Structure 1
Amino acid sequence: MKVISSRDNQHIKNCLKLKQKKYRDDTKLYVVEGQRIYDEVTTYSSHSIKQVFVVETEVAKYNFTSLSADIFIINDKLMQEISDTTSPSGILAILEKPIWDIETVKQEGKLLVLLDNIADPGNVGTIIRTSAAFDVDGLFLNKGCVDPYNHKVVRATMGGILHLPIFANITISDILDFKNAGYMLVGTSLDNAINYYEYDFTSPTILVIGSEAFGISLELLNKCDKLVKIPINPAMDSLNAGVACGIILSEARK
């Protein structure tokens, strides 16, 4: 263990830079915060821990002896600096992004979720959490989506990001490859759609969730094999994207 007391320390500077998407992309690293998700990483996850920052008063809570990562003890002020929350929990870890094989997912998967231009971190985090809970085989995000390793997204996943293959910057070409491999592309829409519980989810399926404001993009909508809807009160325009995804995935896993 090493003690860091200065904001000018290079490890602190690097940790702060992980709030930037470009730096996360360049380094293939991201940040998780809090005891709950840290315990999940060390117990269940294959995500590799590179560094841990822990405040002095919290060190006794953890057993770092079997951890190969660098452990840095910092004060409350530094934790407040590097944390993305107003009330830091006292521990923060830098993890290496896992490398998932899209061909393996294509061959072995049965139920996948594709997010189309969803920019809200809370919605994306909720959908990742929900997808992990329902054992979805993979989650795709196109370029219009927020980075799944954004601090706010990671926090909203409540650990779900550790248990799900995630692929960002998915293209139409990638989706067509899955369709050619036998997957049905099923979009969510209020127009010309069947009720979601009428669709047979035993077929290999990619469920497409669009943004609440604009729905699924026309280019992707035109590639869908089926459209499904959730019957709702006609006085309401739509459901939250995360809620809609959860309802449909619950049906898919019956």
Structure 2
Amino acid sequence: MNSCWISPSYFPQIKASILEPRTRIQPFSSKPDFPTEKIESFLPFNVNSITSTSNPFVKHCLKLRQNSSYRHFHGSVLVVGSTPIREIYSFQERVQERPITLDCLLVLDEAHIPEDLNLQSVRLVRISSTVMKKLSGLQSIDSIKMIALMKIPSTFHSVDDEFLEEDCSTWFKNAHRVLVLDGIQDPGNLGTLLRSAMAFGWGGAFLLPGCCDPFNEKALRASRGASFQLPLVSGDWLHLDALRNHYNMKILAAHPVNDQKPRRISRLTRDFADSLADSPLCVVLGSEGGGLSEKTKDASELVNIPMTGEFESLNVSVAGGILLYMLQPENHKDLSSG
């Protein structure tokens, strides 16, 4: 059970507070939906392998994967799979002003550790296949060799009503292009949109009420680690209005033409996109079922994607990808600071 796999010389580099509950981050739900008595979240330093699913630390990790408010209460996320772990770790090593968020690596017995991961200051714990299946939530773990316990990154902000408008300047390093998600509940769609925003060089994403947690396991899988790379803000329209006023931003919202109310809807064309090239811009995408909220429709300039087919609308992640590509910042300086 306690056989040592990694040199004990690594352990003095680990702060005593590692894997203990962290400062509370305001959760997506203001009220915790888990029992007030805490599951033991501290793993004794003499434990280097875990074989039982009844281990208290395993229960803690499982709760992190399954429960959004529990994740944000502890400020920790369970990231499943080598690919997203390596992408997050590689990105954070390149962006040196951000500390590495990898606290603990749970590795399947006998699995090879990737050589490109610098793990000298990271705690490694070997786990059995039974524990791996439990924590990953997958029946087949052929492609799952490791799971990481990571801190929620400092680039995530959950805003309360006591904020000041000047706080907006700390949310995004570059606010020239910001993606706004209005009630996106499907984690696959949300993760895909964050990944697209990252790929097309957008400055960040703003999550209005009703969105799923960007650190949900399915959202993490779809985003391929973008939730840890792209600045994210969770807030409401009061906060979004403050951001818009602070940077004098224009707000567009994707919407099909067949609206019951007569509204002016612009067509997404190359000329239209070029006319907005120098304007700080928010682009809002609505929920999969209900579309845009009335507040969003009233506050935004509506835009639709021209289609020659007979379909009424596109999947939100597909429509979002088109908008993010067409309106991406190309060779622009950081206009948010000017």
Structure 2 Cα separation of the partners of residues 213 and 56 of structure 1: 43
Verify: 1:9 aligned to 2:55, yes or no. Answer: yes
Worse-superposed segment, 193-202 or 73-82? 193-202
Relative to structure 1, is the Cα distance of residues 79 and 111 closer, same or farther in structure 2, using a 3 angstrom cutoff?
same
Deviation at 1:150, TM superposition (A): 0.5
- Of 327, 331, 335, which residue of structure 2 is paired with 1:252? 327
Counterparts of 2:123 and 2:149, CA distance in 1: 10
Among 38, 50, 62, the alignment partner of 2:85 is 38
| Structure 2 CA distance for partners of 1:137 and 1:107, relative to 1, 3 Å | closer
CA offsets 1:212-248 (integer angstroms, 9 cap, x no match)? 3221100121111x21110113521110111111111
Change (3 A) 1:63 1:14: farther
Which of 112, 132, 138 matches 1:79?
132
Provide the rounded CA distance (Å) in 1 between the counterparts of 2:280 and 2:118: 44
For 1:145, give the aligned amino acid. Answer: C
Which piece of structure 1 moves more, 57-66 or 89-98? 57-66
Aligned to 1:87, the other structure's residue is in SS state coil
Matches within 5 A, 1:93-112: 93-100=148-155, 102-105=168-171, 108-112=174-178
Report the secondary structure of 1:58's partner residue: coil
Normalized per residue, the structure richer in strand is: 1
Offset, 1:156: 0.7
CA change 1:67–1:165 in 2 (3 A) is: farther
5+ long unaligned stretches in structure 2: 1-5, 7-47, 93-97, 158-167, 258-263, 331-338
Distance 1:240 1:157 in 2: 16
| Aligned residue pair count | 252
* Match in the other structure for 2:299: 223
**One-letter identity of the residue aligned with 1:215:** G
Q: Percent identity?
A: 27
Instruction: Using the TM superposition, give the Cα deviation of residue 52 of structure 1 relative to its aligned residue in structure 2, in angstroms.
Output: 1.1
The CA deviation at 1:64 is 6.6
Q: Is the Cα–Cα contact under 8 Å of residues 185 and 208 in structure 1 kept in the other structure?
A: yes
**Cα 1:64/1:195, change in 2 over 3 Å:** closer
3-state SS, counterpart of residue 299 of structure 2 = coil
**Cα separation, partners in 2 of 1:138 and 1:37, compared to 1, 3 Å:** same
Aligned mate of 2:265, from 193, 196, 200: 193
Q: Aligned pair in 2 of structure 1 residues 196, 67: CA closer, same or farther (>3 Å)? A: farther
Provide closer, same or farther for how the CA distance between residues 78 and 106 of structure 1 changes in structure 2, counting only shifts above 3 A.
Answer: closer
What are the ranges of 5 or more consecutive residues in structure 1 without an aligned counterpart? none
Pairwise CA distance, 1:85: 3.2
Higher relative contact order (CA 8 A, sep 6+): 1
Q: 1:34 to 1:160 in 2, by over 3 A?
A: same
Under a length normalisation based on structure 2, what TM-score does the superposition of the two structures give? 0.70
Match of 2:243 among 163, 178, 181: 178
Q: Please give the root-mean-square deviation of Cα atoms over the aligned residues, in Å.
A: 1.9
More displaced stretch, 69-78 vs 101-110:
101-110
Partner of 2:228: 162
Alpha-carbon distance between aligned partners in 2 of 1:63 and 1:132, rounded to the nearest angstrom:
22
